[in-house]
Amino acid sequence: MHSQDLQALDRAHHLHPFTDFKALGEEGSRIVTHAEGVYIHDSEGNRILDGMAGLWCVNLGYGRQELVEAATAQLRELPYYNNFFKTTHPPAVKLAEKLCQLAPAHVNHVFFTGSGSEANDTVLRMVRRYWALKGKPEKQWIISRENAYHGSTVAGMSLGGMAPMHAQGGPLVPEISHVRQPYWFGEGRDQSPEAFGRTCAEAIEARILELGEDNVAAFIAEPVQGAGGAIMPPASYWPAVKEVLAKYDILLVVDEVICGFGRLGEWFGSLHYDLEPDLMPIAKGLSSGYLPIGGVLVGDRVAETLIEEGGEFFHGFTYSGHPVCAAVALKNLEIMQAEGVVEGVRDDLGPYLAERWASLAEHPLVGEARSLGLMGALELVADKASGGRFDKRLAVGNLCRDICFASGLVMRSVGDTMIIAPPLTITREQIDELVALARDALDETAVRLA
Ligand code: PLP
């Protein structure tokens, strides 16, 4: 089938996620046909460096035959059975064991889901169930952050703090409250980063007191906000947040859907920031995106209560721990271990990207270049000296993103923040290529704005 025919059918029948349906109908979609390593290919014959690892998920890169073989073998052996009631199957059991080996020491259980959104729905159910079992049913409020992304189901969207989603999706799940995010470049430059990190932690404490300390059940956050703009919090933030949560006996939920599985140079972002989460939603890099699977890693405190006191937990999905997805996820983690992928990010590729990425800070359009592990962001500014932003109507981030795509690089825009999160198997040479393509795109963006 030719590209135009596929595009016409796409326009006629396909409603894309997070897309202006009408605008897409007019422009037509790019059709991605195949991929290998860190490159995707489209139906027009272009090869494009995937600086976003799909949607932050293809951690091992494309075309790994071991994952294809793991899926094929499992499809032959047992294509489906469930984990409901009192059944299970080897892939789910082995994956659960592997995950608990990799997780922080106090985490020894996992509940499987089909996605990150379902994982966050599960979090909401578990948090409220936990406090009810503890005889504190009034602990209902969950504190999250503005501009957070925790998924697209009603619970995920309510836990998230994306204003445009809330505007379309009401009424939201009640008793979720959002506090300011530790986004120093965007919102905190009247203070030092350190002072701003503490200010954001104090905002959590103030909200706890406002809601009533006996009414707050949990705080949920990503270690580094991904979809919000690759926002690395100031170093003072997490230690101060940990203190506040401990003071008021509030559960910590660390959303590891993006930061888990090596993105920040540790198996989990929680290990990088020395966090001890009670619950950790996971997905994406768990299977390198080859098949859909997610879950919630459950710390001992919550697990023991749910197990010892909970009776039947009326919750689960047909595809919780799906055998083929679990087999692929297990193989994915085994390959990551055998190839030292996470250590490679921590000791070699992350520091290398940091050095190369920082060189983009010299560009006249860039107000800040930041990275951690293999996640990076560029803040585009109209005035380099003051860090003043462009008029939003110019949509400079989208302009830069489109230029990138056309010149062979997937780089995402969140407003005027440009983001990368390439496969963790990228080489140093490919990092050089990525940075060179990004620099060219910035030059071209500047020319178009002139
Ligand atoms: N949590 C975070 C931090 C995410 O980035 C995402 C997806 O981008 C989700 C949850 C939702 O995951 P899914 O799209 O698999 O439902």
Judged against a pLDDT cut of 80, whether residue 169 lies above it is answered with: no
pTM over 0.95: yes
Q: C-alpha dihedral over 125, 129, 131, 135, to 10 degrees?
A: 160
Q: Is the CB of 222 under 6 A from ligand 1?
A: yes
Strand partners, 177: 143
356: its two tokens: 């190369």
Gap from CA of 256 to ligand 1 centroid (Å):
9
Instruction: State mean pLDDT over 421-435.
Output: 98
Which of 59, 257, 258 maximizes ligand 1 atoms within 8 Å of its Cβ, making it the mutation to test the pocket? 257
Looking only at the bridges linking them, the beta strands covering 141-145 and 216-221 are parallel
pLDDT tens for each residue of 326-367? 999 999 999 999 999 999 999 999 999 999 999 999 999 999
What DSSP state is assigned to residue 214? G
pLDDT tens for each residue of 248-290? 999 999 999 999 999 999 999 999 999 999 999 999 999 999 9
| Per-residue confidence (pLDDT) for residue 170, from 0 to 100 | 78
Residue 158 host element (H or E): helix 154-159
Calculate the alpha carbon distances from 111 to 59, 126, 173, 219, 308 in Å. 22, 10, 22, 20, 16
Percent with pLDDT over 70 in the chain: 100
Q: Is the CB of 117 under 6 A from ligand 1?
A: yes
Tell which atom from ligand 1 comes closest to the C-alpha of 222.
3
- Tell me the C-alpha distance between 39 and 61, whole Å: 8
| Per-residue confidence (pLDDT) for residue 26, from 0 to 100 | 85
pLDDT tens for each residue of 137-159? 999 999 999 999 999 999 999 99
Gap from CA of 202 to ligand 1 centroid (Å):
27
Instruction: State mean pLDDT over 306-334.
Output: 98
pLDDT tens for each residue of 26-64? 888 999 999 999 999 999 999 999 999 999 999 999 999
pLDDT tens for each residue of 233-251? 999 999 999 999 999 999 9
Q: Which residue has the tokens 């359009």?
A: 365
Instruction: State mean pLDDT over 188-194.
Output: 98
Ligand 1: residue whose CA is nearest its atom 2: 150
Tell which atom from ligand 1 comes closest to the C-alpha of 153.
16
Gap from CA of 283 to ligand 1 centroid (Å):
7
pLDDT tens for each residue of 366-404? 999 999 999 999 999 999 999 999 999 999 999 999 999
Residue 442 binned pLDDT confidence (cut-offs 50, 70, 90)? very high
